[in-house]
Amino acid sequence: MLKHAVIPFLVGAGLLAGAPSALAATNLVFCSEGSPAGFDPGQYTTGTDFDASAETVFNRLSQFERGGTAVIPGLATSWDISDDGLTYTFHLREGVKFHTTDFFKPTREFNADDVLFTFNRMLDKDMPFRKAYPTEFPYFTDMGMDKNIAKVEKLDDHTVKFTLNGVDAAFIQNLAMSFASIQSAEYADQLLKQGKPADINQKPIGTGPFVFSKYQKDAQIRFKGNKEYWQPDDVKIDNLIFAITTDASVRMQKLKKNECQVTLFPRPADIEPLKADPNLKMPDQAGFNLGYIAYNVMDKIKGSNEANPMAQLKVRQALDMAVNKPEIIKSVYQGAGQLAVNAMPPTQWSYDTTIKDAPFDPEKAKQLLKEAGVKEGTEITLWAMPVQRPYNPNAKLMAEMLQSDWKKIGINAKIVSYEWGEYIKRSKGGENGAMLIGWSGDNGDPDNWLGTLFGCDAIAGNNFSKWCDKPYDDLIKQAKATSDQAKRTELYKQAQHRLKDQVPMTPIAHSTVYQPMRSTVQDFKISPFGLNSFYGVSVTK
């Protein structure tokens, strides 16, 4: 057995100082950008959903260090990996309590049964809870974990063994991701008996630093600090409120008035004024993200009877080389973005620096369209996100600029948008044409970009291009199945070349992430994964 080296959690000397004060409640209001689609992290893929659930209510077996990409223990204190890389044995933390609320009162502490429920629910469509509340788990399936996890076994109350069908070099990192948040098996049993299994997505119960209290769609989410948290030093806020504020300018106004203490996604034009405000601070860091155009490559787009021009490689090549990226960087990102060439950021290991963009060449693009038999004036849809994301501060403006670029080569792009949850749902169903979307890395592994976004397993999930290319897919699967990083890097570089040649997407930019907050907020750390975590955060009076 190869013993996995772990870093023990350190409980600081200031334990009592970190506990909520009995004299005055400490409140923090976070002006968030949108309403979550629900509170069951396994069902979702966006930061909006994860901020409101995985980062507050739940924990995972392994977790990422706050503000970093290193994996540290969570609900498992340590784990062993077999010599062949196919079995992982997790030693579970003892003394961890599930939340007590007005709708659930646990009778036992966290144990192996909760781990089995969490993962068997994602693995087995015939398990009673899954049958009573049918749902999909896009991250789990996009990464092929539904096929690769052979079984999950309880060895005793505090030991669980995962057996894999094949080596997964990113398995521990994957289990630290939001979708792998551990649910309460006891709560699930209660919901089944009550005939209310869907409440697992509306009234969440976890072991995390904050306890869910109330949700008003498009208005607010309220949480209470978990006074029984297993890492008490991390709970320094009594009341955490998400004030859902979709308009970026309104978020900044609320921040300046101290109506919220932390917010996100400032408009580029607001950055300098916010920096100049003495009551605010604005930490920033290079974004581990990518904003891009996904081209739906299906022969016919769902809901249309006409042939899809983007199914042709020459059409995608034409659209790609007609995009004036420098102008988009200048106008949309306003100095807070870096031109993107590959399907992942340059800071990701295995990034291939030899790959170059096709030259900006509208005349060549016209010729390619002519060779593809595409008539001038042909219409496509261009989907534009309704919300700001770390990778795209203004999708509406970007769409308008692309519309103009493509008009010059004879393509009429009709801009389409929906409410954020609907936008994601419809596009996963294949209704999108060309689509503005993006990604913030989840775990620091190349597979999280090249597999999760463009692999065949992700066709019904985050592969919005609906592109399934066997030569490419073989490369990324080989890479994931070896633990030798040099071999993985070589395979991923080959995959990046194949992706660039086949043009299922056009990379646009990697943005700088700014996090505006009041100067009274202490120890908030920007996540490289585009998430917002409030454990360990305090507010001075």
Going from the C-alpha of 317 to that of each of 197, 208, 443, 528, the distances in angstroms are 47, 47, 31, 31
pLDDT at 17: 33
pLDDT at 466: 98
Between CA 448 and CA 450 the distance in angstroms is 6
pLDDT at 8: 31
Query: To the nearest whole percent, how much of the chain has pLDDT over 90?
Result: 91
- Architecture per CATH, 289-513: Roll (3.10)
Residue 406 pLDDT level (bands cut at 50, 70, 90): very high
Q: Torsion over CA of 190, 193, 196 and 200, rounded to 10 degrees? A: 30
Over residues 508-512, mean pLDDT = 95
Residue 513 pLDDT level (bands cut at 50, 70, 90): very high
Question: Which residue reads 């299922």 in tokens?
Answer: 504
Residue 32 pLDDT level (bands cut at 50, 70, 90): very high
The predicted-structure confidence for 76-93, as pLDDT tens digits, reads as follows 999 999 999 999 999 999
Q: Which two tokens stand for residue 23?
A: 């004299």
Question: Which residue reads 């209001």 in tokens?
Answer: 29
Between CA 205 and CA 229 the distance in angstroms is 13
The amino acid at 373: G
The amino acid at 313: L
Over residues 211-225, mean pLDDT = 97
Residue 483 pLDDT level (bands cut at 50, 70, 90): confident
Going from the C-alpha of 336 to that of each of 216, 285, 512, the distances in angstroms are 34, 10, 5
Query: To the nearest whole percent, how much of the chain has pLDDT over 70?
Result: 96
Q: Are 61 and 180 in contact, with CB atoms under 8 Å apart?
A: yes
Closest CA to 446 of 410, 419, 421, 477: 477
pLDDT at 335: 80
CATH number of 27-57+208-283+515-540, picked from 3.40.109.10, 3.40.50.920, 3.20.10.10, 3.40.190.10: 3.40.190.10
Q: Which two tokens stand for residue 105?
A: 């009162």
Question: Which residue reads 């519309």 in tokens?
Answer: 403
Whether 394 shows a pLDDT value over 80: the answer reads yes
Over residues 513-524, mean pLDDT = 97
Between CA 506 and CA 502 the distance in angstroms is 11
Residue 24 pLDDT level (bands cut at 50, 70, 90): low
Q: Which two tokens stand for residue 409?
A: 């080569």
pLDDT at 10: 30
Domain ranges of the chain: 27-57+208-283+515-540, 59-191, 289-513
Can you say whether the dihedral through the CA atoms of 66, 69, 70, 76 is positive or negative? Answer: positive
Between CA 29 and CA 50 the distance in angstroms is 17
Q: Residue 462, class by beta-carbon neighbours within 10 Å (0-12 exposed, 13-18 middle, 19+ buried)?
A: buried
pLDDT at 19: 38
Between CA 53 and CA 434 the distance in angstroms is 30
Whether 5 shows a pLDDT value over 90: the answer reads no
Question: Which residue reads 């973005």 in tokens?
Answer: 337
Between CA 437 and CA 460 the distance in angstroms is 16
* pTM recorded for the entire structure: 0.82
Whether 12 shows a pLDDT value over 50: the answer reads no
The predicted-structure confidence for 140-198, as pLDDT tens digits, reads as follows 998 889 999 999 999 999 999 999 999 999 999 999 999 999 999 999 999 999 999 99
pLDDT at 540: 95
Write down the CATH superfamily of domain 59-191.
Dipeptide-binding Protein; Domain 1 (3.90.76.10)
The predicted-structure confidence for 243-291, as pLDDT tens digits, reads as follows 999 999 999 999 999 999 999 999 988 999 999 999 999 999 888 999 9
Task: Return the DSSP state at 25.
Answer: -
| Exposure string over 135-150, b if 16+ CB within 10 A, otherwise e | bebbbbbbbbbbebbe
Mean pLDDT of the chain: 93
Whether 1 shows a pLDDT value over 60: the answer reads no
